[in-house]
């Protein structure tokens, strides 16, 4: 197996945490309450910490003087491999929670399997990260229930967010040719095995929250292949500003 293939696989895993962390970071100081604001900021920091671990490993694999910073900041839009779900905007608090919940359920299932990877570096990252993601999932699940079984307005808003973001969930389970090779080598996670438990868990929480599971079978994809929504360019313009303006800067 080529190092380049493992590098690309790691990008597909880490970019989800990177872009979702960036989205949550935009909310710092804008939460509906101080406690919730701090919680969202801490989740963002958790995701960035996980991303650093992945990118440090990826930089060693690719060589050529690469660092975690160059991997994070010096790629073009088409070189990012995150799913479309995590780049969706913070329309309102309901959207933020719905996006977080739909990703957290997947993220926990994914890390639970990645712990068994034949790659000791990825296994170690997963074993550490799953403790954080367990909290993330609990936080977003609790808020889904509070909003769904709350006031008429909160229920309407969270239902609208779930309905709108549902189209991006199926992409979580898509694999590329590189993914298939990494999975065959016992390093990656077989995403097809996560699909049924994922939707089972999501539907269970929605029912407990008195929300309706979307019936739409139409899904949108492209992020894993580098084809992103119009939102991605704006995310990168903010995230990459310092490195693009002051090349090779370090703290």
User: Residue 219 is part of a domain; what is its CATH number?
Assistant: 1.20.1260.10
The mean per-residue pLDDT over the stretch 81-106 comes to 97
Token pair for 30:
């804008």
Residue 108 lies in a domain: yes
| Three-state secondary-structure class, residue 49 | helix
Residue 250 lies in a domain: no
Q: Which pLDDT value is given to residue 111? A: 98
What pLDDT, in 10s, does the model give residues 105-117? 999 999 999 999 9
Angle formed at CA 176 by CA 19 and CA 122, multiple of 5 degrees: 60
Distance CA 141, CA 18 (A): 21
Q: Residue 1: is its pLDDT beyond 60?
A: no
The mean per-residue pLDDT over the stretch 197-215 comes to 97
Identify the band that residue 63 occupies on the pLDDT scale cut at 50, 70 and 90: confident
Residue 8 lies in a domain: yes
Q: Kindly report the number of other CB atoms within 10 A of residue 92's CB atom.
A: 14
Q: Which pLDDT value is given to residue 39? A: 87
186 contacts 117 by C-beta, under 8 angstroms: yes
Identify the band that residue 65 occupies on the pLDDT scale cut at 50, 70 and 90: confident
Distance CA 244, CA 60 (A): 23
Distance CA 158, CA 193 (A): 28
Distance CA 42, CA 22 (A): 12
Residue 251 lies in a domain: no
Token pair for 226:
């580098």
Q: Residue 91: is its pLDDT beyond 70?
A: yes
Identify the band that residue 247 occupies on the pLDDT scale cut at 50, 70 and 90: confident
Residue 95 lies in a domain: yes
Q: Which pLDDT value is given to residue 37? A: 82
Distance CA 20, CA 89 (A): 10
Average pLDDT, the chain: 94
Q: Which pLDDT value is given to residue 140? A: 97
33 or 183, which is more confident? 183
Q: Which range of residues forms the domain containing residue 67?
A: 3-245
Q: Which pLDDT value is given to residue 6? A: 95
Number of domains in the chain: 1
The mean per-residue pLDDT over the stretch 133-159 comes to 97
Percent of the chain whose predicted confidence (pLDDT) is above 90: 82
Question: In b/e form, how buried is each residue of 197-218, taking b as 16+ CB within 10 angstroms?
Answer: ebeebbeebbeebebeebeeee
What pLDDT, in 10s, does the model give residues 178-187? 999 999 999 9
Residue 157 lies in a domain: yes
pTM: 0.94
70 contacts 240 by C-beta, under 8 angstroms: no
CB neighbour class for 248 (10 Å; exposed up to 12, middle 13-18, buried from 19)? exposed
């Amino acid at each position: 197996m080529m190092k380049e293939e493992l590098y690309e696989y790691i990008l597909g895993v880490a970019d989800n945490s990177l872009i979702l962390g960036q989205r949550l970071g935009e909310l710092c100081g804008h939460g509906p309450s101080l406690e919730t604001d701090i919680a969202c900021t801490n989740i963002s920091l958790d995701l960035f910490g996980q991303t650093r671990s992945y990118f440090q490993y990826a930089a060693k694999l690719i060589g050529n003087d690469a660092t975690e910073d160059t991997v994070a900041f010096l790629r073009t839009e088409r070189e990012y491999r995150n799913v479309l779900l995590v780049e969706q905007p913070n329309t309102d608090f309901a959207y933020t929670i719905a996006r977080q919940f739909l990703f957290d359920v997947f993220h926990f299932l994914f890390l639970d399997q990645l712990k068994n990877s034949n790659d000791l570096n990825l296994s170690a990252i997963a074993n550490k990260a799953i403790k954080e993601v367990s909290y993330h999932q609990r936080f977003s699940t609790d808020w889904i229930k509070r909003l769904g079984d709350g006031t008429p307005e909160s229920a309407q808003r969270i239902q609208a967010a779930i309905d709108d973001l549902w189209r991006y969930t199926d992409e979580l389970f898509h694999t590329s040719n590189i993914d298939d090779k990494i999975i065959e080598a016992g390093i990656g996670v077989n995403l097809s095995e996560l699909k049924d438990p994922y939707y089972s868990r999501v539907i269970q929480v929605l029912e407990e929250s008195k929300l309706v599971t979307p019936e739409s079978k139409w899904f949108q994809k492209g992020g894993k292949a580098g084809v992103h929504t119009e939102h991605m360019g704006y995310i990168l313009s903010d995230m990459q500003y310092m490195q693009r303006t002051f090349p090779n800067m370090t703290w």
